[in-house]
Structure 1
Amino acid sequence: MATVGLTYFDGRGLGEIVRFTLAACGIEFTETLLQERQEYEKLLEEGKLMFHQVPLLEIDGLELVQSGAIVRYVARKGGLYGDSNEETSKIDMFYEGTRDFYKSFLYLVFQDPKEVLAAAKAKALPRYLPIFDQALKKNGTGFLVGESMSLADIGLIEVLLSVTEYFGEETLSDYPSLKAFKSMMVSQERIAAFLNGPQKKGGNTDAYVATCRRVLKLDI
């Protein structure tokens, strides 16, 4: 089997959802962690970065960019994208909602962490936690869509792990369906192996931010 390769940075950012999805699908992958501007420019010269950005996933002879396109390809490949057009549409809807929620944490360290977390606590948590709690309760299977894990669930567990990391487990105390969902998801064999393995990244660090700025010439 050809090697599946992910190119990103040694941090979460937009690459962590790709790692999560690959792990949930049982797809082994190697990582290239960018450190220098020259590495990024080489990828550009080789025509691998269509929109001049990472993550880049090389899989099945494809060179995929755009994290949404990447995870959908992987989810289809791994059977995490529904059994009907209706289910797929619902998965997309919930997944996009998790991405809106996750944006609350995306710029931690790039911007003042206290301000980012204060905004997340004041605006994102009271907006999104009730929505996803009710969605899980309504579906009644423990998952957001259907009777098995999907890409929507991968998106939700990623952001819930950030919520409890920064605000504590008690944040979910008023949301029993979310609390049960988190417990169930982290006990899934493949998810548990990923969370306890070397490819799971820690929170953003100053070194990670400096590398991103250097490689991409960011001004944020």
Structure 2
Amino acid sequence: MSGKPRLTYINGRGRMESIRWLLSAAGVEFEEIFLQTREQLLKLCQGKTMMLEALAIRKLLIFSYISGKYNLYGKDLKERALIDMYVEGISDLMHLILLFPFSPPEAKEKSLATIAEKATERYFPVFEKVLKQHGQDFLVGNRFSFADVQLMEAILAVEEKVPSVLSGFPQLQAFKTKMSNMPTIKKFLQPGSPRKPPPDENYVATVKKIFKLD
């Protein structure tokens, strides 16, 4: 890949948002091309450049590539295994958040309750315990990694829906403060950055049209 990485996706969060987070946390500038029609998607899928610059179908491969290239993947195989384990757990929570905008209106309340329950009773307690036990600033090896980026993304995504979600997690509150003040993340959280807003009705309609979800 030469020049800036190029991300091709719909103009919204979706599965691409975690890649935006990771590149931005690494201080990497990137370009974006936004899909607007199904024809563009089909043409892209028939091309020969999908591996690292198009849709996040091969998401884990892209994560590994970026993390390894920009020193966000631990110092050895043991740390890499821990990072992978934490990221996989966070991805389960993020999947619930990803699906939420597509829930029918009558199921929104139940879906939101599920997200809150999973976050406070299953996922966040694990990370609270990890941070408390080793007393370090970061999840793995006391150095900034992909796992920290994913956790920060998940915290903010859940807080958008459940503002008080961290009330019982002092370690995660401190973690969020530290991450928010890291220069690259602080920049990504500012208006005008590549970070996308929460999905709205227009985004949901575009996704359904392009991927034929109806």
Superposition map of 1:175-194 within 5 A: 175-194=169-188
* TM-score, normalisation: structure 2: 0.91
Shift in Å, 1:22: 0.4
1:157 equivalent in alignment to 2:158: no
1:5 equivalent in alignment to 2:20: no
Shift in Å, 1:198: 2.9
1:100 equivalent in alignment to 2:118: no
Amino acid at match of 1:73: Y
* TM-score, normalisation: structure 1: 0.89
Shift in Å, 1:9: 1.2
For 1:52, the equivalent position in structure 2 comes to none
Kept in 1, the 8 Å contact 2:100–2:111? The answer is yes
Superposition map of 1:1-220 within 5 A: 2-49=3-50, 57-58=52-53, 65-112=57-104, 113-168=108-163, 170-196=164-190, 197-219=192-214
Structure 2 gaps, min length 5: none
- State the alpha-carbon separation in 1 of the partners of residues 155 and 201 from structure 2: 23
- State the alpha-carbon separation in 2 of the partners of residues 68 and 139 from structure 1: 27
Shift in Å, 1:147: 1.4
Shift in Å, 1:64: 7.3
Aligned residues: 209
- State the alpha-carbon separation in 1 of the partners of residues 165 and 206 from structure 2: 32
- State the alpha-carbon separation in 2 of the partners of residues 30 and 150 from structure 1: 23
- State the alpha-carbon separation in 1 of the partners of residues 21 and 56 from structure 2: 16
Shift in Å, 1:167: 0.9
Secondary structure at the counterpart of residue 31 of structure 1: strand
Shift in Å, 1:153: 0.6
- State the alpha-carbon separation in 1 of the partners of residues 45 and 85 from structure 2: 32
- Percent of aligned positions with the same letter in both sequences? 38
Structure 1 gaps, min length 5: 50-55
Kept in 1, the 8 Å contact 2:125–2:169? The answer is yes
Amino acid at match of 1:13: G
Kept in 2, the 8 Å contact 1:7–1:57? The answer is no
Q: What are the Cα deviations for residues 139-160 of structure 1, in whole angstroms up to 9, with x where unaligned? A: 2211110111101111101110
